[in-house]
Amino acid sequence: MRITALIIRILRQIVRDKRTMGLLIFAPILVLTMLHLVFNGNDYTPKIGFVHIPESIVDQIDISDEKITEYKNEKEAKEDLSSQEIDGYVVFHNQSPSIFLEGSDPTVNGAAIKWIQTVLKPLQGNEPSLEPKVDFLHGSAGMGQFDYFGPVLLGFFVFFFVFLIAGVSFLRERTTGTLERLLSTPLRKWEIVTGYVLGFGIFTMIQATIIAAYAIYVLDMLMEGAFLYVLLIILLLSFTALTLGILLSSFANNELQMIQFIPIVVVPQIFFSGLFNLETISEWLRWIGPFTPLYYAADALRDIMVRGYGWDEIYRDVFVLLGFSILFMIVNILALRKYREI
């Protein structure tokens, strides 16, 4: 009852502020469209497996290289490919090579094919008939950069905007004295936090549906899995953004200080979300990834949209995201003790 009142109030406030609402929906659409039109390029050393390497190649390449793995049969190679241990493998049928790629990241695909072609060159001689056949586990040769980056960006935009508006609106609640006013009513502290999560959650659901539908159906972003899973992940991600935004708003005294959190808290998450290959990030920074919500959301979104995976592959990400939200919610409730002890 009290939570419902809070949810209705929050939704009314959002709807009343047409400009912010427009920004939340159209800004991501605009940027996604531009990225769709623009994208290209990167540098990466692929991890390749070989099944039955012909003697003639063994001399050519350095098997001890950590980027190369040798397999006894194709089954083992395929398993490692599924678990993303390797980016692709080469198998030889009657001396003619076939390439099999994991395929979800176009940058990696390109790098892998280029690398294999260089290595196989001495074998081919001048015979064009030995041009290797390329197969993909996921994706296809036609998959663009945008398809791979898309899911991450989708997650990022939702995180970014929800973090900002939820943080600012809670900040206002605090600076205008309405938070104190709320706490002079029988409203419980957990009800305030829950009301905020649900109120913004409902709005995010609508926002995410519109943006995701636009990206998938209008911009033709690759979509192999279920739309509902995409929405589930985005909703959970928005909960973490929301609860983190509310939490950090208590360290800000005005809107500008809230915005200062963006380069510190929001933008760095992009680097660890798989938009850039994690292995190109230096060792001493890499550990940060698992502490950022976007890392898990991006992983799950890519599993769903690019690889077409379902619940079995994403449930771990789902629980980690839920864990983040619950943790932030508890800290928020504790932080409200500053305004009322009970």
| 341 near another protein (CB under 8 A) | yes
Residues contacting another protein: total by CB under 8 A: 27
Q: Which residues, 257 to 296, sit near another protein by CB under 8 A?
A: none
Report the side by side order of strands in the sheet with 68-71. 68-71, 48-51, 88-93, 96-101, 133-136
DSSP, res 87: S
Binding mask 10-49 for another protein (x = CB under 8 A): --xx--xx--------------------------------
Query: Which residue's CB is nearer to another protein, number 186 or number 263?
Result: 186
Query: Do residues 270 and 156 touch, judged by C-beta distance below 8 A?
Result: yes
The kind and range of the H/E element at 295 are: helix 293-305
Do the Cβ atoms of 326 and 236 come closer than 8 Å?
Answer: no
Count the Cβ atoms, other than its own, within 10 Å of residue 146: 21
In the range 167-206, which residues lie near another protein by CB under 8 A?
176-178, 180-188
334 binds another protein (CB under 8 A): no
User: Is-contact 151 212, C-beta < 8 A?
Assistant: no
> Would you say 62 or 341 has its CB closer to another protein?
341
Q: How far is the CB of 201 from another protein (least distance, A)?
A: 19
Query: Which helix H or strand E contains 88, and what residues bound it?
Result: strand 88-93
Interface region with another protein, contact rule CB under 8 A, candidates 9-17, 154-162, 201-209, 254-262: 9-17
Q: How far is the CB of 250 from another protein (least distance, A)?
A: 16
Evaluate whether 145 touches 106 at the Cβ level (below 8 Å).
yes
Residue selected from 2, 61, 80, 286 as contacting another protein according to rule CB under 8 A = 2
Judged by the rule CB under 8 A, the positions of this chain that interact with another protein are 1-2, 4-6, 8-9, 12-13, 16-17, 176-178, 180-188, 339-342
